Amino acid sequence: MGTRTHRTPRRKASTAAAPGAAAFTPDALSVAARHLEVGGEWVSSFAVVGFPREVHPGWLAPLLTYPGRLDVSVHIEPIDPATAADRLRKQLAKLEAGRRHTAEHGRLFDPRVEAATEDAYDLSSRVARGEGRLFRVGLYLTIHAATEKTLADEVAALRSLCASLLLDAKHTTYRSLQGWVSTLPMGLDLIGMRRTFDTAALGASFPFTSPDLPAPDPTSVAAPSGVLYGYNIGSQGLVHWDRFGEGMHNHNSVILGRSGAGKSYLVKLELLRSLYRGIEIAVIDPEDEYARLASAVGGTYVHLGAPGVRLNPFDLPIHTRADGRRTAPKDALTRRSLFLHTVIAVLIGQELEAGERAALDRAIAATYQSVGITADPRTWTRPSPTLRDLRDRLAEPRQGGERSAAELAARLHPYVDGAFAQLFDGPTSTSPEGHLTVFSLRDLPDELKGAGTLLVLDAVWRRVSNPAVRRPRLVVVDEAWLLMQQRAGAEFLFRMAKSSRKHWAGVTVATQDTPDLLGSELGQAIVANAATQVLLRQAPQAIDEVGRAFDLSAGERAFLLSADRGQGLLSSGTQRVAFQAIASPTEHDLVTSNPAELATHPDTHHAEDMFVDLGDDEGFDSDDTPIDLGTA
């Protein structure tokens, strides 16, 4: 058997297209009857000429998960409805003529002809009713190997796999070059061995369908909804997930993983891609990781801890309707008083006793009345009191004295006149709005981060619950363990997670302290109220508890213990899929927090906060370099 050798010299880089073309042009191409040698690599091509009678969504997945290098090419050509009807009519006439000839001569019926006739009648009726269309589909395979001997083994394994799928794969004998070209991403079908598919079969054949997360309607021609999380590690298919899709019990999500597993990276990817869909997002950022992303997409950045940035917990939830009228819930004052109990409990770091709750309740009512706010809704638009006013009411001398009130006033002193007063020493200074709002907590003292997270959640919830604006929203709580340390804060987060669905909103809770979250009843309730659960790499010390909480198999436990950065397990009900998060270069530059990568293009955001100007004599050394005094 002879071979033909085509040597294609590389073109000189005399044109703009030459360098790109040279990268895909092999130095030599050796063509044999059933294989090619392309630049030192051996390839063999097949055309699939026989298919199973029925297929299911993702039925091409075994080909996509083949352990070797296998190119799968699907060529699709729509058939005009009039032509399709005419061909079906002719095919039915042939099949019926064959059946009658068999019956007239007293022969046994061929089961394959009977099945084909039945399928042809069913397909003809669906096409006539407009329930589907016909397509000419060509399926071609190209297997790669390093040597000719290895190629023979790969060919045998591939034919065995095709046989197990009821696929009849034939060598493109004496057309090996055309078969290889037909599997290149060029849109050329030089083999022309087509089979007729209807809409349902073609939809199930789409190669980007994940076998673990089947599409709601595989026959739909619409683009996949939801957010691209990455690719399926098992099938190499793309993993799309729509938290706001039909059939979802709620829109909440929990993302659990050890430090460095890629939690924030995945959260920022989902956030960025959700913005493409018009979803409004608010982020609680404890480490200032979302500032570059907010700047790139034109979001709003609120820097808590900076001078003059305040959030007043006494603000009533007043909503402005489209017609300009200002409204509020009928029980707004009562709910605000209850929320202030939660804020004070988080500030003092412990649950209030009965006497303290009673004293605090009276002081809150007196504080509102001192500025003219009463049970009459017409007074609710007046300026709200502040934490200083509450402290003063608690510290007022009373008949017989109240020890509980005095102790509460003393405990609130640091947040009114002391070191932690910058967040509460006046009315709210900002009203954040926009498609993306980032609340940075990095510069808040550790003693205020729990309270800051609570106040931000409250400000976000007031916007989410505004009945005048109805649109899908996401609330991202990164490093949620800061709030979960206080029971009062955990209870507020739990209530928010339970109520968000009614307002077309979802809460994303991301934390690295998985045992602490699962070790509390409120933490378990938050996980249970999340329809979407993402598990990234877990520590060996936590895998047993995680395995029990999520009913993981032995294989899933092993995967989470050895997962690379960005790899995880997406779970929703009975559906689970192992995926690898992927990002484009532009997305990666916006969401990465790797110090080594950020050092190559440093961001000057907040760089001025790292230095203190001490003047020309003390603040600079001989080479005019600022002296780093730290952030303490």
- What is the per-residue pLDDT for 535? 92
Sort strands 436-440 and 280-285 into parallel, antiparallel or unpaired: parallel
318 vs 382: CA distance, rounded Å? 11
- In this structure, CATH architecture of domain 335-433: Orthogonal Bundle (1.10)
Q: What is the pLDDT of residue 261?
A: 85
Closest C-alpha to 108, from 97, 121, 99, 120:
99
Cβ pair 490, 235 in contact under 8 A: no
**Both tokens assigned to 107:** 């022969």
Q: Is 530 helix (H, G, I), strand (E, B) or coil?
A: coil
pLDDT of residue 1: 41
Span 487-526, pLDDT tens digits: 767 787 888 888 888 888 889 988 887 777 787 788 888 8
pLDDT level of residue 24 (50, 70, 90 thresholds): low
Q: Is the pLDDT of residue 628 over 70?
A: no
- Give the dihedral of Cα atoms 504, 502, 450, 318; nearest 10 deg: 90
**Over residues 471-475, mean pLDDT:** 88
Higher pLDDT, 630 or 503: 503
User: CA 246, 247, 252, 253 torsion: positive or negative?
Assistant: negative
* 556 vs 619, more confident: 556
Q: What CATH number does domain 246-299+434-600 carry, 3.20.20.70, 3.40.50.2300, 3.40.50.300, 3.30.750.24?
A: 3.40.50.300
470 or 75: which leads in pLDDT: 75
Residue 83's alpha-carbon distances to 90, 121, 203, in angstroms, are: 11, 16, 21
pLDDT of 191 = 93
The pLDDT, as a whole number, for residue 129 is 66
Under the banding of pLDDT at 50, 70 and 90, the label for residue 427 is confident
DSSP 165-222: TT-EEEE-TT-HHHHHHHTSTT---SS---EEEEHHHHHHT-TT--SSS--S-TT--S
Q: Quote the CA–CA distance of 353 and 600 in Å, as a whole number.
A: 54
The pLDDT value recorded for residue 158 is: 92
Tell me the three-class secondary structure of 385-450, residue by residue.
Answer: CCHHHHHHHHHCCCCCCCHHHHHHHHHCHHHCCCCCHHHCCCCCCCCCCCCEEEEECCCCCHHHHH
pLDDT of res. 239: 83
Mean pLDDT of 434-458: 84
Greater pLDDT, 380 or 220: 380
Q: Where are the domains of the chain?
A: 1-10+26-75+136-207, 80-132, 246-299+434-600, 335-433
pLDDT at 18 over 60: no
pLDDT digits (tens, 9 = 90+) for 349-380: 878 888 888 888 889 999 999 889 888 888 88
* Average pLDDT of the residues in 379-385: 87
pLDDT digits (tens, 9 = 90+) for 142-191: 999 999 899 999 999 999 989 988 899 999 999 999 999 999 988 899 99
